[in-house]
Every structure is written in C-alpha cells, then in structure tokens.
Structure 1
C-alpha cells in the first residue's frame, strides 16, 4: 500500500476506533503500535460490524519514521510511549495527541524529536470489548476537534470518507476547557461509583457535579478560556443528554484495575488553580480519592 504513513500508538477504546476508521481510507497506510499482535480488529458502528485487517508492531525497535503519529495512550503513559516516538518521529512528522486533559504539547514534545505536535479533543465514545473488538458511539457534534493552523486541514483529511468527523476551531483553548469540564465530572464520578453515565440522573450527583464544575470554570477563565457565566449549568445540561449506557475511560480502567488518568483531569484543574491562587477543594478531593485508587491498582499484579 502507498499513501500517508500513519502509526497509531495505543489500542484502547480511543486508539482502536481511530485505527479502525483510518484503515477504512485507501489513502492511509496504517500501522498499529501495541503491546500484543492483533491481525484483525472487529469494529462496531451503529448496527454494522466490520472485520478490519491490521498491520501491528509490538517492538519499537522495528518501527520506522512515518508521516503521522496518532498518539492514543493515556496522558500518564506518554513517557512509556517515548521508545515508540523515538523511532517513529522526525522533524517532518506530525504527532496528533488524542488524549484527555490540557498541555498536550508540553507532555509530548520532549519525546517527539522535533516533530510538530497537534492537540486533538476527542468527543466520540470508544469502547473496547476485547483487545480486538471496539465500538464507536457518536456523542454530538464533531468527533474530533483540532486548533486552526497549518496542520489542521491535513489532519482532517486523514479521516475523510470515514465515520469520524473532524472539526477545526480558532477558539481551541475554550473548547479544550469545555471538554475538560465534562471530564472532571464524568470520569471521577463514574469511576468512584462504578456506574455508567446514568448515575448523573441522581439529583445529589448533579449538585456535586455543579460544585466541581464551578471550581473548574473559575480556573479555566483564569487560563484564558472564554467561558459563560452559566457555563457549569450548561455543561451539566448538555451532559445529561449523553447516552446513559455509555461509560468513561476512567470507569473502564477502574473496573479493570488499571492506573487512572486523574492527574490530567482534576489534577490539571488543581495545578492551574494553584498557579492562579484559586481554591479547588472538590477537585482536590476527587484527585486525592482517585490517586489512592490508582496507586492501589498500579501495585496489583
């Protein structure tokens, strides 16, 4: 196959869906970088299921430079992906970072050998049923959003003709914080309660969510995001329209006993709050509780 050489690093729910969709375009030459070899990926979308052949690498030493790296590891796993980035990247490579949180460039650039780093906001729900089986659920609006710039159109072109819709925005920091606002309630609350999004139908959970959001909105404004006076209420209202049966990445990680991405979510709010002298007691509580869970998961064989 000829075409754009693309490496997808990380084959969880987000990475599995990205790899499946990118593989559907004949213009893409896709290689998946993962811990185990997978020759075929089952991809569920709407009422259809497809079996998609994969080209998989399990050893970074066998990787070669590519045009695009789609980095889909959890934020806390960027350092462990450094060996892949070292082999895949050159200054001509673009790394699209499909991760939760903020500060994507700061996390990834030190490992990317001069490659261009493009942050992407992920809106789609990718659920991994098995190592070789993923499902795409559209939430609302775009599935991915990237900042306006030189590489934005080229990134969107990677997904042309696939189920993934890519948006481009000059107001990326505001949308990035709005996505973070969703994540600072969705992920910790589903993980701690071990329930899917239907748990947010409870009035007490809604009140707790508004308190967490109010803190995060104040911090986001201090960081430069253009957030409305009733942003917390709007986020919660939008969030309540999400499919109640959908899970979150932290919910699935918690059930599986994996380390959690809490530092990139509520941890980012707490850290930014400290920079601006803003109190974040509820986000700090979420961070403390889930760091405890994450640390215990990391020690479990």
Structure 2
C-alpha cells in the first residue's frame, strides 16, 4: 500500500504531467481533483507514450485530508480551488504550489486550513493534447525548483524514479524573479499581438521588451532578488533562442477566450513596485490592456 497520499488539483498541462509522473512511483497514492472524471491519462515523454490509470474526484465534498496537495491551477483560480483545499488540507499537509508569479504563500495560505505552503517554479513544458492526454518536454536544467530545506527534500522524494527532476535553491527569490521576467514579456506581448514567439524577432518588440524588463528588474532588486546589471539583456537574449513557432499559455488562453493570468505576472511587478515606491508605467500598461481583454473573455458565453 502506497504510503504518501497526494492530491493533484488541476489537470491542465502542468497538472497532468505532475499527476502522471507522481503516479509512476509506487510510493505515491495519487488522486486527481478535476472538473470531470478521467480514468486513464495518456502520457507522452520523448518517444514513449504510456497509459496511466487515474483515481479522479470531481466533487470537493468527497475529498479527504492528504499528506501533499500539488496545486496546479492558474494563479487567478486559487479562490475557485478553495473548496478542494479546505477538505484536502490539515496543519499536517504541505501544499506545493506550481504556479506562475511570486507571493505563492500569500495567495494560497488563506485557503489552506493551516497547511504548509511550498512555492515551486515550473520549468518543464507540459502540453495538454486532450483532456486525457498530456506531453512532457524538458526545457533545460531542473524541471521544478523549490526553496532549500526539509520540505524541499520531502517534495523531491515524491518524484524520485520519475522523469521530473526537482532542484533546490538557497536563493529561491532570485529565481522566482528571473522566471517572472520571462513571463512579463512573453505572455502579454504574444497575447496582445496574437502572435507566437516569432514576434520577438522584430526590433521594435525587442526594444519594448527591454524597457519592460528593465522596469521589472529595478522592482525585483528592491524586493530582494539578486539580479545582474545586464539582467534584462540576458533574459531577452536567452528568450530569443526559444523556438519562434512556440506559443505561451496566455496566447492560447487569449485565442480560446479564457480569462488571463495577468495579475500574477505584470500585476505582480506593479504591486511590488507600489510597495517599494517605484514607478512601473510599462508593466501597468500591460496590466491594464490584458485586464481589459481578460474581462471581455470572462463575459463571453
């Protein structure tokens, strides 16, 4: 009998890959919390494709306390996941939050019934090909990164023997901001232009991106992140090496008419800038424009 009870909340690309990989360990007893019943999940990795049986709950009222919750909803959907968290969590539970942005603890703790909140940075590409079919692509380096400490070691143990590599960092805040810096240009610009990453080959888009990044870097430093003098240029240079045909989550959400995760991205920069007394006009402009799109999407039947 598996010893670690784990609930994965959210079965999109990130959650689907997490659920599939966690299910590969015989030490884990995994339950997926999703809107619909799914009994099997097809998992593609490299050239392999396997079918993984799933235990799924679609009613939060039937959920019982677990050792671990792996929260994989979009940041703006935390409140709607609250009924799951309230039933799954006790003070002995740890909630690993696999979401974009910063301030994971502030976002999740009010709904977690006294559970420990462990923020995680997601580097892997999890693509949802169908409701019951996901694909894992490794980007580079670790697939997940968490703050160093005892909870980090316990979290990494959940993925031992699976395709997911979990890293630990003593300077987690800096890595959070570096991931955020990529997201504050990639997501809003692809969503607003409705173009994939190839749009960043334009020199005017590169100039705009550098200005957005420099503004965000100043806020990140004030927030305690150890960012380099050439951080904005280094982020853009790395970003330009990504495949031009790739899209972003916000690009796909925009095309599909779904609400957008803007508050956790450029909104996080604006909020932190306000806290530190720093101006953020470009990130504020991105936030305003994308909130307008997101609000319109939310009203569309």
* Bin of the TM-score, shorter chain as denominator length: over 0.9
Aligned length: 301
Q: Does 1:114 align with 2:143?
A: no
Q: Judge conservation of contact 1:125–1:246 (CA < 8 Å) in 2.
A: no
User: In the TM superposition, what is the alpha-carbon distance from 1:189 to its structure 2 partner?
Assistant: 1.3
Structure 1 residues 183-194: aligned runs within 5 Å = 183-194=183-194
In 1, the alpha carbon distance for the partners of 2:249 and 2:55 equals: 25
> Which has the larger displacement, 193-202 or 108-117?
193-202
Deviation per residue, 1:111-144 (Å, 9 max, x gap): 1111110000011111112211111111111110
TM-score, normalising length from structure 1?
Answer: 0.97
TM-score, normalising length from structure 2?
Answer: 0.97
Corresponding residue number in structure 1 for 2:256: 256
Corresponding residue number in structure 1 for 2:153: 153
User: In the TM superposition, what is the alpha-carbon distance from 1:63 to its structure 2 partner?
Assistant: 0.6
Q: Judge conservation of contact 1:219–1:276 (CA < 8 Å) in 2.
A: yes
User: In the TM superposition, what is the alpha-carbon distance from 1:181 to its structure 2 partner?
Assistant: 0.3
> Which has the larger displacement, 201-210 or 217-226?
201-210
In 1, the alpha carbon distance for the partners of 2:44 and 2:7 equals: 21
User: In the TM superposition, what is the alpha-carbon distance from 1:30 to its structure 2 partner?
Assistant: 0.6
User: In the TM superposition, what is the alpha-carbon distance from 1:244 to its structure 2 partner?
Assistant: 2.9
In 2, the alpha carbon distance for the partners of 1:22 and 1:2 equals: 12
Structure 1 residues 7-86: aligned runs within 5 Å = 7-86=7-86
Corresponding residue number in structure 1 for 2:176: 176
Structure 1 residues 192-207: aligned runs within 5 Å = 192-207=192-207
> Which has the larger displacement, 245-254 or 138-147?
245-254
Deviation per residue, 1:145-174 (Å, 9 max, x gap): 000122000101111111111100000000
Structure 1: runs of 5 or more not aligned: none
In 2, the alpha carbon distance for the partners of 1:49 and 1:193 equals: 34
Corresponding residue number in structure 2 for 1:137: 137
Q: Judge conservation of contact 1:199–1:205 (CA < 8 Å) in 2.
A: yes
Q: Judge conservation of contact 1:139–1:242 (CA < 8 Å) in 2.
A: no
